Amino acid sequence: MTLTPAPEPVVPRPGPEIRPTATGHRAPESPHGPDADTGPGPDAGPGRDTGHGPDTGPGPLLPRAVCEAALTALLLFLIVTAVRWLVGPDPGAAAARPAVLGAVVGTLLALFMVSPPGRCSGGHLNPAVSLALWRLGVFPGREVVPYAVAQLAGSVFGVWCAGLVWGPVTARPPVRHASVRADPAWGDAAVLAAEAGVLAGSTLMLAVLLASPAGRRVLPYAVGLTTALVIGVLGPLSGGSANPARQFGPALLAGDTGRLWVYVLGPAVGAVLGAWLAGRTGLRRTAG
């Protein structure tokens, strides 16, 4: 779950703000906000699509979607690589595997978020994060599906590339293309609740951090640390995916799709629930 913090907003001077119009002239901004003079659009409401949120990358959609696909592919390639060396031939200590993998993935996410491609696209790398940001009102709703498609496609491509590089060992147990599996004692409902809970909490964290310039500056590191903790703690229990793209490619190539719906639906439900809670507490209005 990732996004790149936007540049700090310019503090307006007293008096009406002057902003450019579509024709190049300049007009005073309404005291009720930048969108008050346009009237309610088709997405008016708590999660309306303004197109001006801090997590909308600049420029056309296609280059940003390509950045999302490329970063997600690289992330999954490196995850499969890490799992291959942690649980494949000559593995490390079993007890340290979740913690090590969590530290690796958390560090990668933070680095990807502050990288140039991450700043271009917003660095979501997670369909549930894109959904959460839309519901928080800081990402265009019309771009959620293209971003999700790019992220899922990147997941499949990254896992496939890892198989080409590391060979058949990535397809055999215990690696299985880094597909996550829950503890046998955890049923579908428990895994669904865990995945939804992680995303709900993460969405609330995003709302809080996006509400201030200082929060936006530390956001990549907060996301990386949270991800590391989720994998380290929940990895041996629920699988600790918290990202549909994280499980989509590995499960598809490993033929381990029996619970794939849980790892897709859970984060999506959590994202919507977290945004709703943020709205109830006033955080969504502040973040937007």
**What average pLDDT does the segment 208-224 reach?**
95
CB 72 within 8 A of CB 245: yes
Q: What is the pLDDT of residue 86?
A: 87
Query: pLDDT for 158-171, tens place per residue?
Result: 999 999 999 999 99
Pairwise pLDDT comparison (69 vs 11), residue with the higher score: 69
Confidence of residue 125 (pLDDT cuts 50, 70, 90): very high
pLDDT cut 70: percent of the chain above it: 75
Q: Which of 174, 157, 149 is nearest to 253 (CA)?
A: 157
**What is the pLDDT of the chain when averaged over all its residues?**
83
Q: Which CATH number fits domain 52-287: 2.40.30.10, 1.10.3290.10, 1.20.1080.10, 3.40.50.300?
A: 1.20.1080.10
Q: What is the pLDDT of residue 119?
A: 95
Measured in degrees and rounded to the nearest 5, phi and psi for residue 20 equal -70, 145
Task: Map the chain to HEC letters.
Answer: CCCCCCCCCCCCCCCCCEEECCCCCEEECCCCCCCHHHCCCCCCCCCCCCCCCCCCCCCCHHHHHHHHHHHHHHHHHHHHHHHHHHHCCCCCCHHHHHHHHHHHHHHHHHHHHHCHHHHHHCCCCCHHHHHHHHHCCCCCHHHHHHHHHHHHHHHHHHHHHHHHHHHHHHCCCCCHHHCCCCCCCCCHHHHHHHHHHHHHHHHHHHHHHHCCHHHHHHHHHHHHHHHHHHHHHHCCCCCCCCCHHHHHHHHHHHCCCCCHHHHHHHHHHHHHHHHHHHHHCCHHHHHC
Query: pLDDT for 35-94, tens place per residue?
Result: 433 333 333 333 333 333 344 455 799 999 999 999 999 999 999 999 998 886 655 555
Q: What is the pLDDT of residue 58?
A: 58
Q: What is the pLDDT of residue 95?
A: 52
Q: What is the pLDDT of residue 288?
A: 47
Lowest mean pLDDT among 2-11, 44-53, 173-182, 184-193: 44-53
Given a cut of 50, whether residue 272 has pLDDT beyond it is: yes
What distance lies between CA 211 and its chain's CA centroid? 18
Given a cut of 60, whether residue 26 has pLDDT beyond it is: no
Dist CA 73 CA 69 (whole Å): 6
Query: pLDDT for 238-269, tens place per residue?
Result: 999 999 999 999 999 999 999 999 999 999 99
Q: What are the tokens at 5?
A: 């913090």
CB 249 within 8 A of CB 159: yes
Pairwise pLDDT comparison (213 vs 1), residue with the higher score: 213
**What average pLDDT does the segment 112-131 reach?**
97
Given a cut of 50, whether residue 104 has pLDDT beyond it is: yes
Given a cut of 50, whether residue 25 has pLDDT beyond it is: no
Residue type, 20: P
Q: What is the pLDDT of residue 98?
A: 87
Pairwise pLDDT comparison (52 vs 130), residue with the higher score: 130
